[in-house]
Structure 1
Amino acid sequence: MPGSSILVTTDKESVARRMESLHVFRLKLLSEEMCWLILSQKAFTGRSQASREILEDIGRKIANKRQGLPLAAKTSGVLLQDKQGREEWQNVLNNVIWK
């Protein structure tokens, strides 16, 4: 349709080229701290400060494994919302699916 636009997001420039994109914007990866902030906002929604203190060390390790990718940090945080204890969080940290 004339005047319409399509936004394509990808971490592979070759995909953008195949889509014949007019403008390619290369975004920088997030810092470890920013990944942690995104993940923790989602993961700790509705939790107590005590819960946060118990889980924060594992959560930071999980955030670091997301390698600066904002969607991965957000998705991890949402996944962790339903995980209650250290063992469940440790399972997420150790899961090979994130490699």
Structure 2
Amino acid sequence: MKAVIECATEDECKLSEIELLQSRLSKLLQKKRCLIVLDDVWTEDQDDWDKLRPLFRGGLDGCKIIVTTRSQKIPFMMDFPKSPFYLNGLKDDDCWSLFKHRAFGCGEEEKYPNLTRIGKEIIKKVGGVPLVAKSLGSSVRLKREEKQWLFMRDCGLWEFR
């Protein structure tokens, strides 16, 4: 909330209590049309959502709130959306493109056909989540032994399907 207040006022926000921050932000949003994006939300605590709800009252028609989350529960806790919109994951080819960009240097992919094959097998397990594809690509960037890539492929901790 501090960051939003500072962005809207172009001044440093010295408030620290949640109620004061809410009040200030609510006044800033009052009678204004705005787009609020809450990205990668994780909290499933109803009390947290109850504290935020007053902030989103009082805006003009046309105000929109976008919340991105992996939780199926959050859209229903918020009470705003009439119906949540669920995105599908990326296609394997698109995930592979993200992965290989991180995993290989320029033109290096052709030097390691076995690692390319293993990398494509890894991508089939990430459920189309771009962040996972990029993170896994980064994690094998400096690893050129097959056993290191096979370990990553066979590790089930990050599977999403």
> Normalising by the residue count of structure 1, what TM-score does the alignment of the two structures yield?
0.79
Q: 1:19-98 counterparts in 2 under 5 A?
A: 19-20=78-79, 22=81, 24-46=84-106, 48=108, 49-51=110-112, 53-98=113-158
Distance 1:4 1:33, change over 3 A: closer
Name the CA distance, whole Å, in 2 between partners of 1:4 and 1:63: 34
Q: Which range moves more in the overlay, 38-47 or 72-81?
A: 38-47
Aligned pairs, number: 98
Higher helix share: 1
Name the CA distance, whole Å, in 2 between partners of 1:12 and 1:70: 17
**What does residue 73 of structure 2 align with?**
14
Distance 1:6 1:20, change over 3 A: farther
Higher strand share: 2
Aligned-residue sequence identity (percent) comes to 26
> Normalising by the residue count of structure 2, what TM-score does the alignment of the two structures yield?
0.52
Query: Which of the two has higher C-alpha Rg?
Result: 2
Unaligned runs of 5+ in 1: none
RCO higher in 1 or 2 (8 Å CA, sep ≥ 6)? 1
Unaligned runs of 5+ in 2: 1-24, 40-67
> What letter corresponds to residue 75 of structure 1 in structure 2?
S
